[in-house]
Structure 1
């Protein structure tokens, strides 16, 4: 009997302490929430003076373990982004909402919102008559924050058209003290069938991580994107054509120092299919540079370390090396395409006959799983007249002949252009840039 009374007493003390703590945290939130919103608005207006955003809180209803408040946000230039709805605030240090998510770490509060039916009735119905979007923002005592965005699975089918989307999640972790930002996104499946066309995406994941140093002037970032497969099908002409990529991966490392951004990016596509034919594998690696000044001249650099399409019969390869300067890109976006803005532009393309003609043969025989030498010969016979016509009409393309093996001939092109030097070289020969409109 005494043990039961002791246990009941302990539970009563714990429960009372939890209730008081939740109430006190609720008082802190109520006292500071309006000030925090004003601070955020002030920061937005200082950094983006043309944003014209307005926000206010009203109808604050405080409870012991949670509170509700109406949040109204208006964008003067984007009315379709306006928001006016009730959000819920779950009080720390141990919000009941977090327990349901399996999170027992102490925190100041969790703010949650479920997309209301009034914003999109179709999405509400496709999600099974429940919110399509669930958003939660967790504020920890150490100034770290976590945003979790979830979508419900949806399905809708009308006649020959349908849409399917799996339940997915995006998590953003942000440390307001160190400036570190981490993002994790995963999408298991998305399928859309409309107008005799089908798009299907499977197993997409994206992870990004950036860290900012103490003086807020240097940012180091990393991005990794992986995609299981992406296919696009079209049976508009009664014969279905499908283009599919498998095993896509993108890796990017970047560094921002003041207004200077540099990055290295690599891309790999493990296989590219056209119907039943595996056309090959694509690889790319490049260095990018960007020195920006939104009011004056900005500078861009690009250098490819690898740009290749690998087939079973050889590789198609290309290189690009360039540097250009433009005026205010936002006020004059067309300046990006002007040849006069290049400091220099250097390109190289190498297309071996055996690799190129095998790709053409596979596209022409896409309903077969393999191709024969006869198929490649047919593709060669059909394509050679076009190549001969192009080489006869323009100096940009030349043929590097192999005296012993015709299939090892290479379609080649190399260009060097520099307005500063008033120099244009095409396949090793000098030309007047004005002759080609440079």
Structure 2
């Protein structure tokens, strides 16, 4: 009997302790709430990769185990309302929303939000008369934040007549106390958008995974890395009653960005295991793009843009290219007024042999076949040969070689180099002075040697 009384007393003490701790945490949240909201808004707006936001809240109601309030989140630049709803905060040390989800680690607070029927009636119905999206955010006693966002499968037609279908998807975000380090991981099983009135009538995404991290090295230096991987991205178009499907299989997109003060530099790497156009497999390839520019001053740019690598593999060979251009102190708003004095560096190497070029063109012209016939390839080769001789043969940039007895040497080639700093230039493998280079470009003709 005494053991039972002791156990009962312990349970009562734990319950009272939990109530007191929860009440005390609620008071802490209330005392810090306005400061935290202001701090959160400032941190988001200081991040160069996030949208500017403005928080407004009212109807703050504090209970023993939870607190609710109405919040409105606006984009001050577009005046678009992002969120206009009621949010619930469950008090620690063991927030009720965390316990229900099977998470038993102590937390200072947990935020629970779900879209309401009043927020969007159509999305509510499209989700089976339940919230389209739920958000669970937990805050530990070091002020680190973990966020889980999930959506219900939907079947939805928006106000523009576009029909959307999606599976249940998840997104996890982790943020440190100072908002200096963030990580993101998520997945989308399926996403389909159909629009019968558009040229592209259907876009379908299957098995998309995304990851990213944001790191603040200092007040001046910010890094953002992102990667998207998907099994298939398909586009279905209909033009003049002709239906075509373009499918990217095993597509990877990787972004790496660094911002130092106002200078943003980075690169984009993309690769695809196979690209299909209806019945034709067009091949596989990869591309690497680099860039550096001033994101805040478009009126005075020292910009570098480059295609560091383009490589496309077909059944008949490879197409390769690279390109780079650097301009100095020129406005991107008036790029049409770009002059030779604004260009600091320009380079390009293009190697498009006639065999793979003709094969690829024949595939594009005959998408309903499994592979082009030899007659299709010969016709494509003849077209490219005639076209290049008529319109490209006199170009100072493009070296047209389509009549060599050795068919492997035939193709379209570019060999370009220009450096204002070094006072060196080259076109079609020929060394030129700076004035000769610009004379060739401006008059579309190489000088005589």
CA-to-aligned-CA distance 1:318-343 (integer Å, 9 cap, x gap): 111221234565xxx33488355321
CA-to-aligned-CA distance 1:156-187 (integer Å, 9 cap, x gap): 479x9843111112222111347111111321
1:306 aligns with 2:309: yes
CA-to-aligned-CA distance 1:34-88 (integer Å, 9 cap, x gap): 232244456678999xx99754432221112111112244555533326543211
CA contact (8 A) 2:54 2:73 kept: yes
Which residue of structure 2 aligns with residue 168 of structure 1?
A: 169
Which residue of structure 2 aligns with residue 227 of structure 1?
A: 230
1:99 aligns with 2:99: yes
Q: Give the superposition deviation at 1:227.
A: 1.4
Q: 1:206 to 1:161 in 2, by over 3 A?
A: closer
Which residue of structure 2 aligns with residue 349 of structure 1?
A: 350
Number of residue pairs aligned between Structure 1 and Structure 2: 430
Q: Which runs of 5+ in 2 are unaligned?
A: 431-435
1:202 maps to which of 181, 195, 206 = 206
Q: Give the superposition deviation at 1:10.
A: 3.0
Q: 1:65 to 1:209 in 2, by over 3 A?
A: same
Q: Give the superposition deviation at 1:272.
A: 0.5
Bigger mean CA deviation after superposition, 280-289 or 424-433: 424-433
Q: Tell me the C-alpha RMSD between the 2 structures.
A: 3.3
2:279 maps to which of 271, 276, 293 = 276
Q: 1:327 to 1:382 in 2, by over 3 A?
A: closer
Q: Give the superposition deviation at 1:393.
A: 4.8
Bigger mean CA deviation after superposition, 267-276 or 31-40: 31-40
How far apart in 1 are the matches of 2:78 and 2:294? 30
Q: Give the superposition deviation at 1:147.
A: 2.5
Q: Which runs of 5+ in 1 are unaligned?
A: none
How far apart in 1 are the matches of 2:367 and 2:111? 53
Q: Give the superposition deviation at 1:241.
A: 0.9
CA contact (8 A) 2:97 2:112 kept: no
CA contact (8 A) 1:26 1:67 kept: yes
Which residue of structure 2 aligns with residue 124 of structure 1?
A: 124
How far apart in 1 are the matches of 2:213 and 2:207? 20
TM-score calculated relative to the size of structure 1: 0.86
Bigger mean CA deviation after superposition, 333-342 or 315-324: 333-342
CA contact (8 A) 1:354 1:408 kept: no
Q: 1:311 to 1:328 in 2, by over 3 A?
A: same
CA contact (8 A) 2:289 2:306 kept: yes
Q: 1:345 to 1:231 in 2, by over 3 A?
A: same
- Which residues of 2 match residues 28-107 of structure 1 at below 5 A? 28-40=28-40, 55-74=55-74, 77-81=77-81, 83-107=83-107
CA contact (8 A) 1:292 1:299 kept: no
TM-score calculated relative to the size of structure 2: 0.84
Which residue of structure 1 aligns with residue 433 of structure 2?
A: none
How far apart in 1 are the matches of 2:336 and 2:37? 39
How far apart in 2 are the matches of 1:376 and 1:46? 56
1:427 aligns with 2:435: no
CA-to-aligned-CA distance 1:248-294 (integer Å, 9 cap, x gap): 11234444444444434422111110011110112123443345563
